[in-house]
Amino acid sequence: MASAPGRANLIGEHIDYAGGVVLPFAISDRTHVGVTRRSDRKLHVSSTHSKLAITLELDELENWKGTPWARYPLGVVHVLRTLGADFPGLDIEIDGSVPHGAGVSSSAALECATALALNELFSLGHSSLDLAKICRRAENEYVGMPCGLMDQAASMLSQENHILAFDCLTFETQQLPFNLSEDNLEILLIDSQVKHQLVDGGYASRFAACESARSTLGLDSLRHLTREAFESADLEPLVRKRVSHVIAEMERVSKTMVALKEKNFREVGELLNQSHASLRDIYEVSCKELDLACEVALTSGAFGGRMMGGGFGGSAIILTPIDNTQTVIANVSKAFADAGFKKPRAFIVSPSAGARIEYSA
């Protein structure tokens, strides 16, 4: 039995696949995956969140196009097999509390818990970073989602009371102390209850725009694109618009790291606000519910906030003094009701530990 957490991302949105540095952290909600050997070359996958269990032959796995939620753990099994793992058959049982469609990467939590359990049970010897990369391959190649490595790295590598500064180009990590209680702060996630399916075209089209710019400019990564070179680059108007967010967001991450080290949390809040405006107006991945949540939080005493995750729904992340948290929650809930939106879910998160083995026979 292994567990892996969902993640929140303080700042650095839609730049992981462009090679940027991102600032995620694990949350306390976790997905648990139990794996047991079988000897009949069958794969059986069940979840407490679904009445439908999946059974298939190992030899059917490569081309299996079945139930979407099961493709995440089975994608991990598939990638590990391509790397030489020999599984005689598996029972995979799934449970957990990471909310789906809320922008906290329930998919990465499921992948990472599965990978860690398999790595332990079959003594595969992969490092935590190796497992994160394997999970990303599963999502890219098997599920069909062109994500970067941030979500899986955060789920695997995070430490309690730290933000993970993760370099998506070099895979270098830095743990930034962030003990909210010491500074009378809280991070609030406001789930808009607008559910998203990132395998749909919106996310992929943004990824494609970044890839188009990288190819046009002859770069290995947009991380190497300076602002000066960007200003003079010949890019299609929509591609230029999307890349302008990427350039500015990378700059905001650098400023946020400095502000965190200096404990200048008002500056952190302002950078979150700038990030949201860019995601709303330039990258165009927000929605009216997330915009309202951020606007009301700010007028209710929060330092700042922004939409978080792939976009088109999900959650907003709000940095607020602890004394203002309940006011923010109440005012956002009222604003949603007044606007006729579905009631939001608000929950407090703090930097938590990454994936771990819970039980090994």
Asked if 69 contacts 96 with a C-beta cutoff of 8 angstroms, the reply is no
Which residues does the annotation mark as catalytic?
151
90-117 per-residue burial string, b: 16 or more CB within 10 A, e: under 16: bebbbbbebbebbbbbbbbbbbbbbbbb
State the CB neighbour count (10 A cutoff) for residue 37. Answer: 11
Q: Distance between CA atoms of 280 and 185, rounded to whole angstroms?
A: 26
Asked if 1 contacts 33 with a C-beta cutoff of 8 angstroms, the reply is yes
Q: Distance between CA atoms of 28 and 98, rounded to whole angstroms?
A: 9
Q: Distance between CA atoms of 246 and 315, rounded to whole angstroms?
A: 20
Q: Distance between CA atoms of 157 and 135, rounded to whole angstroms?
A: 13
Q: Which amino acid is at 299?
A: T
Between the CA of residue 50 and those of 3, 91, 154, what are the distances in Å? 18, 16, 26
Between the CA of residue 87 and those of 69, 90, 122, what are the distances in Å? 21, 7, 8
Asked if 32 contacts 94 with a C-beta cutoff of 8 angstroms, the reply is yes
List, as one string, the DSSP characters of 71-126.
HHHHHHHHHHHHTT---S-EEEEEEE-PPTTSSS-HHHHHHHHHHHHHHHHTT---
Q: Distance between CA atoms of 256 and 105, rounded to whole angstroms?
A: 22
